[in-house]
Amino acid sequence: MNSYKQEFIKFMVRSNVLTFGDFTAKSGRKTPYFVNTGNYKTGEQIAKLGEFYANCIKENLGDEYDVLFGPAYKGIPLVVTTAGALYNQFKINKNYCFNRKEDKDHGEGGSIVGHKFKDGENVVIIEDVITAGTAIRECLPILKGAADVNVKGLIISVDRMEKGQGDKSAVQEIHENYGIQTFPIVTVKEIIETLYNTPIDGKVYIDDITKQRMEEYLAKYGV
């Protein structure tokens, strides 16, 4: 496993973004762990977060794309920090944009802020986590409505490796339905592997009991 992946898992724990306990997911599933990217709140955290996304893009897509797109609302700070980190770390200078939830009817109008799409451009979508893939289904018509673009990939922070609407995972469904490949910074299995009986700042987050609960959850809902 790449070292930036292990660093990212520790970073999520320290940022109180990755937590363990008893939670109910949006899907109604009772889950022993939760990823809440809304808990990033400092300048240092958002700058570091962009670096992890930039590493994932560089590793999986190089610089073979034209535009980074962040779906409103959580994708907006993500796409901005990722574009900055790609330039600062790798001198990869790419266009970026995001959408408004409501069309603007004055000034330049439209729902896309930042780069204006052109036909044939390759786009990378920057998201936080996907559970059922709803956000992707919503943003594809926005992209295609702006220009005839190609979606080269979807970057997410964590792949929970769970069933989506059927027996396949949300990641598999997105690939099957739209031909889009998803690249997570880390998967839940990498989280278990990294944190199991390994203390972070003196505390063990995944002990035998938590590991068993996570594995049972994956056996029930995982793919």
Choosing from 26, 91, 101, 106, which is the catalytic residue?
106
d(CA 221, CA 223): 7
Indicate which residue of 104, 118, 144, 220 is catalytic: 104
| C-beta contacts of 161-168 below 8 A and 24+ residues apart | 161/187, 161/188, 161/189, 161/218, 161/222, 161/223, 162/29, 162/131, 162/218, 162/221, 162/222, 162/223, 163/221, 163/222, 163/223, 164/131, 164/132, 164/133, 165/132, 165/133, 167/223, 168/223
175 a catalytic residue: no
Per-residue buried b or exposed e for 19-54, using 16+ beta carbons within 10 Å of the residue's own CB: ebeeeebeeeeebbbebebeebeeeebbebbbbbbb
Whether 189 is catalytic is: no
Catalytically annotated residues: 104, 106
